[in-house]
Amino acid sequence: MLQIKNMESYCCIKVVKEELDKLGVQCKTPELGRVEIQETVTAEKLQLIDAALRNVGLEILSNNKTLLVEKVKKVIHQLVYLSDDLPKQNFSEVITREINRNYTYLSSLFSCMTGVKIEKYIIIQKIERVKDLMVYSKLSLNDITYLLKYSSVAHLSNQFKRITGMTPAYYKQLANSGTHKIGKT
C-alpha cells in the first residue's frame, strides 16, 4: 500500500491511475490518499513511481509524521466535501476519533509540518467548498450557510472575505463572467 501526499480529489485518483498505467504498474482502484499495488515493487520502480507522481504534484509518503498529517487532511476533506451534513460536534472530536490520537499532539504536529493550524486549514477547506457550491450548484448563500454549519450568512461572508480577499457575491460574479480565472486559495 502506498500512501500518497496531496491526493485529495477524484481527479487525483484518475491521474495516479494514469501515471501507474504508463509505468506498467498494476494496482487496485486507487482511493483518496492511497493506492494498493498488486505486484512486488523494487526500490528502482518505487523511485520511478515517486518521480512520476512528483511531476503531477503528488508524492509518496514515507514517514509516520507526514502520514499522520495526511490522515488529518483526509478526515477534514471527507467531512467538508463528502458529507452532506457536517458534524454538530467539534472537528477536533471527529479527528481524534478517526485517527485515534491525542488532538493536542495532532494539532501541534499539523502546525509544525504544514505551517498552518488545523483550525485555519478547516476554514480554508470550508471556503473552498463554499466556492464550489456557489459556482457549481444552485444553492443560495443561505442554503450554503446552513449546509456548512455557519452561524450566519454574515459569519460565512466575513470568513470568505478574510480568506479570498473578496465578498461571496463578487466572487460569484467573477466566476460567472468567466473574465477572471478563479482558482484555489
Residues 80 and 52 in one domain: no
Residue that wins the pLDDT comparison between 126 and 41: 126
pLDDT band at 28 (very low <50, low <70, confident <90, very high): confident
85 belongs to a structural domain = yes
Look-up of cell digits 450566519: 152
Strand (E) or helix (H) holding 146:
helix 141-147
Task: Name the amino acid, one letter, at 107.
Answer: S
pLDDT in the model for residue 156 = 95
Residue pair 28/35 in contact (Cβ under 8 Å)? The answer is yes
Residues 80 and 56 in one domain: no
The domain of 30 spans: 2-60
Strand (E) or helix (H) holding 94:
helix 91-99
56 phi/psi in degrees, rounded to 5: -110, 15
133 belongs to a structural domain = yes
Residues 9 and 55 in one domain: yes
Whether 29 shows a pLDDT value over 90: the answer reads: no
Domain total of the chain: 3
pLDDT in the model for residue 159 = 95
Burial of 101 (0-12, 13-18, 19+ CB in 10 A): middle
**Mean pLDDT for all residues in the chain:** 85
Look-up of cell digits 443560495: 140
